[in-house]
Structure 1
């Protein structure tokens, strides 16, 4: 395993640390857009109110991936340069409303929040 080639099963269920080494959430699932290969991670941060469960959405490009050498096997460290409080304000959706996560305006709001270029826009502009 290296940090440039990751299996989905390796990162799903993995804890996310901020730059101070504190856990801020867990990767629960991935959304992969077939058209352009865009990958968004669904994060549970423990901010669930009432009966509904909310996932925050983070572009895979926003994460840092590092391998920490251990005696028996390398350990993957996934970081996100954001506080737990800031993550609470990141775009998200109620798990009962998956359609929202696939909406192009919602996806753009995710990229805007993390100040990243949306590959869906650049790939469609390259086709013109």
Structure 2
């Protein structure tokens, strides 16, 4: 098993490129604690999200896990509304986000108009996030490879190691 080492080319692609499985990290704002490479999901809830053109578009309300695959499936962006009432929720591919440690926010790789026009849902009508067709359409909207294909080699390597 390869340890997490962004300097090691044998580890997973952590570049944040459209096919990369994880979020990119920028900035020098590293504080106390385990972050920013490994963090508790709860510490990211409520973090503001900025568009690629510098507009505040909402906040992270949830981080959805692919429990069987051991991967982050989506971040859920809460946008609009007031004090949580009338918010529109959007599933965001994790790889479309960049954690900015200096400004303590996420930057979504899309302009504000694209985000405003993104397919969304409300808190009482969540989509079936395990539906591969739905998931592929969300990833395509943000020009990202679906997380289950972007991380397939990592998961398959882990499964073959466990069978030894």
TM-score for both structures, normalised by structure 1 = 0.75
Alignment check: 8 A CA contact 1:65 1:79 kept: yes
1:56 counterpart residue number: 90
Matched, 1:104 2:132: yes
After TM superposition, give the deviation of residue 3 of structure 1 in Å: 2.9
Q: Select 2:68's aligned residue among 26, 32, 35.
A: 35
Larger helix fraction of residues: 1
Larger strand fraction of residues: 1
Matched, 1:120 2:158: no
TM-score for both structures, normalised by structure 2 = 0.60
Q: How many residues align?
A: 119
Matched residues in 1 for 2:81 and 2:136: separation? 23
After TM superposition, give the deviation of residue 23 of structure 1 in Å: 0.8
Matched residues in 1 for 2:109 and 2:123: separation? 24
Matched, 1:2 2:30: no
Larger Rg: 2
Give RMSD over aligned pairs: 2.8
